[in-house]
């Protein structure tokens, strides 16, 4: 048996060297795959790993760059016109199983043309994949071919895909500033923006969770003794946090039947803001409406100086230096004491 065989089909040479396990097309190493099984699996795997959007760009970029190599090769053959080169390329592709592509309305001066593609290997893969929209490898491939032939950047627009039920796909080609590199960078920027947006959303969600946790833990209402409640004020109170504490405190006071509310200012920022000072005044005023006296404790010399500079009048409150003093005072007013 002869391990080396050759066939000539439509002027193109196919060769096999079974001893070396080689398949030759026009004297060059080539390879054969089953379209609807092996190649389908290849495309499916790329899409599974990269995602649909990224894989489409991969196919488009690969198709264009391969076509550019072909176009530049034929462009160097000065004795061959663009029309002749286009016919040679489409015939070669048809012989290699790429389907039948017919070039129409080729205008060398305007650098425009229309391609009709029928039963391409990409179409067959898309059918096997059960897709509803055709791929962009071959449309981009011919954009690369004619970019090489015309010596200028050519891009494409799909008018219709055979996959949509048409007899063939129709693709228009024209000069354009669109480049593969631009598309790659655009997708990278889009992915980066999407990632940043996801991170920002995560940060916002986590910030909201932490804020809620701080609100729950930072100012608890503590019933230290019968009739006496303590609320420690911690940190700095902006509008939302101050409002939440005010509502929480006023909703809690009646359930404890307290007579005295002790506001512990030990953990309050010494650089007290108008909002924090106003909060103290509002809590005291609201508590007095339901018969509860407010006592302030934990006022350091520095804090007292800061408080005096605000517009809020604290003179109506009984003030003590420590929490212990405030609790003893509250009990004494009720005729009780700690023994």
pLDDT given for residue 321 in this prediction: 84
Identify whether residues 132 and 234 lie together within a single domain.
no
Identify whether residues 128 and 247 lie together within a single domain.
no
Identify whether residues 57 and 126 lie together within a single domain.
yes
Identify whether residues 111 and 241 lie together within a single domain.
no
Identify whether residues 41 and 171 lie together within a single domain.
yes
- Report pLDDT digits (tens) over 116-167: 999 999 999 999 999 988 999 999 999 999 999 999 999 999 999 999 999 9
Under the banding of pLDDT at 50, 70 and 90, the label for residue 301 is confident
Which has the minimum average pLDDT: 7-11, 85-89, 207-211, 223-227? 207-211
How far apart (Å, rounded) are the C-alpha atoms in residues 149 and 156? Answer: 15
How far apart (Å, rounded) are the C-alpha atoms in residues 66 and 182? Answer: 18
How far apart (Å, rounded) are the C-alpha atoms in residues 40 and 320? Answer: 81
Identify whether residues 164 and 235 lie together within a single domain.
no
Identify whether residues 149 and 273 lie together within a single domain.
no
Q: What average pLDDT does this structure show over 62-88? A: 87
In a domain, 28, yes or no: no
Domain stops at, among 153, 178, 203:
178
In a domain, 232, yes or no: yes
In terms of Cα–Cα distance, which of 269, 279, 225 is closest to 248?
A: 279
In a domain, 48, yes or no: yes
pLDDT given for residue 215 in this prediction: 61
pLDDT given for residue 233 in this prediction: 83
Identify whether residues 119 and 68 lie together within a single domain.
yes
Domain stops at, among 159, 178, 197:
178
What's the residue count for the chain?
A: 339
In a domain, 191, yes or no: no
Domain stops at, among 162, 178, 194:
178
In a domain, 213, yes or no: no
Listed ranges 77-86, 102-111, 186-195; the one with the highest mean pLDDT: 102-111
Q: What percent of the chain has pLDDT over 90?
A: 31
In a domain, 254, yes or no: yes
Q: What is the CATH number of the domain that holds 239?
A: 3.30.750.24
- For residue 161, the 8-state DSSP code is -
Identify whether residues 61 and 174 lie together within a single domain.
yes
Global pTM reads 0.57
In a domain, 139, yes or no: yes
What domain count does the chain have? 2
164 half-sphere exposure, CB direction, 13 A CA radius: 11
Identify whether residues 166 and 37 lie together within a single domain.
yes
pLDDT given for residue 191 in this prediction: 62
Identify whether residues 103 and 45 lie together within a single domain.
yes
- Report pLDDT digits (tens) over 244-286: 888 888 787 788 888 899 988 888 776 666 777 788 888 888 8
Q: What is the CATH number of the domain that holds 93?
A: 3.30.1380.20
- Report pLDDT digits (tens) over 56-73: 888 989 999 999 899 888
Residue whose entry in the numeric block shows the structure tokens 């059960």: 130
Q: Whole domain around residue 150: which residue ranges?
A: 33-178
In a domain, 150, yes or no: yes
pLDDT given for residue 140 in this prediction: 92
Q: What percent of the chain has pLDDT over 70?
A: 90
Q: Which helix (H) or strand (E) covers residue 154, if one does?
A: strand 154-160
Identify whether residues 237 and 169 lie together within a single domain.
no
Distances from the Cα of 48 to the Cα of 42, 45, 51, 53, 56, angstroms: 10, 5, 6, 11, 12
């Amino acid at each position: 048996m002869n391990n080396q065989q050759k066939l000539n089909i439509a002027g193109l040479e196919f060769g096999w060297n079974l001893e070396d396990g080689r398949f030759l097309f026009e004297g060059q190493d080539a390879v054969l795959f089953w379209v609807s099984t092996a190649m389908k699996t290849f495309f499916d795997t790329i899409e599974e790993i990269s995602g649909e959007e990224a894989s489409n760009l991969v196919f488009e970029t690969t198709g264009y760059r391969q076509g550019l190599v072909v176009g530049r090769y034929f462009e160097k053959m000065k004795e061959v016109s663009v029309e002749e080169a286009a016919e040679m390329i489409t015939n070669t592709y048809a012989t290699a199983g790429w389907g039948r592509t017919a070039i129409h309305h080729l205008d060398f001066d305007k650098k425009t043309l229309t391609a009709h593609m029928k039963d391409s290997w990409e179409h067959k893969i898309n059918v096997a994949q059960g897709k509803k929209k055709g791929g962009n490898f071959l449309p981009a491939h011919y954009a690369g071919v004619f970019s090489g032939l015309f010596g200028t950047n050519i891009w494409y627009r799909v008018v219709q895909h055979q996959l949509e039920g048409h007899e063939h796909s129709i693709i228009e080609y024209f000069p354009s500033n669109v480049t593969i590199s631009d598309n790659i960078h655009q997708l990278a920027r889009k992915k980066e923006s999407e990632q940043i947006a996801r991170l920002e959303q995560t940060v916002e969600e986590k910030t909201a969770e932490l804020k809620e946790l701080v609100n729950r833990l930072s100012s608890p209402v503590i019933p230290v003794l019968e009739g006496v409640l303590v609320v420690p004020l911690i940190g700095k109170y902006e509008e939302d946090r101050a409002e939440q504490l005010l509502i929480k405190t006023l909703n809690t006071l009646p359930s404890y039947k307290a007579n005295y509310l002790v506001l512990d200012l030990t953990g309050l920022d010494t650089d007290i803001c108008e909002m924090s000072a106003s909060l103290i005044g509002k809590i005291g005023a609201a508590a007095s409406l339901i018969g509860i006296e407010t006592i302030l404790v934990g006022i350091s010399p520095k804090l007292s100086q800061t408080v005096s500079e605000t517009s809020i009048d604290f003179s109506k409150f009984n003030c003590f230096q420590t929490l212990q003093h405030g609790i003893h005072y509250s009990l004494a007013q009720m005729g009780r004491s700690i023994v």
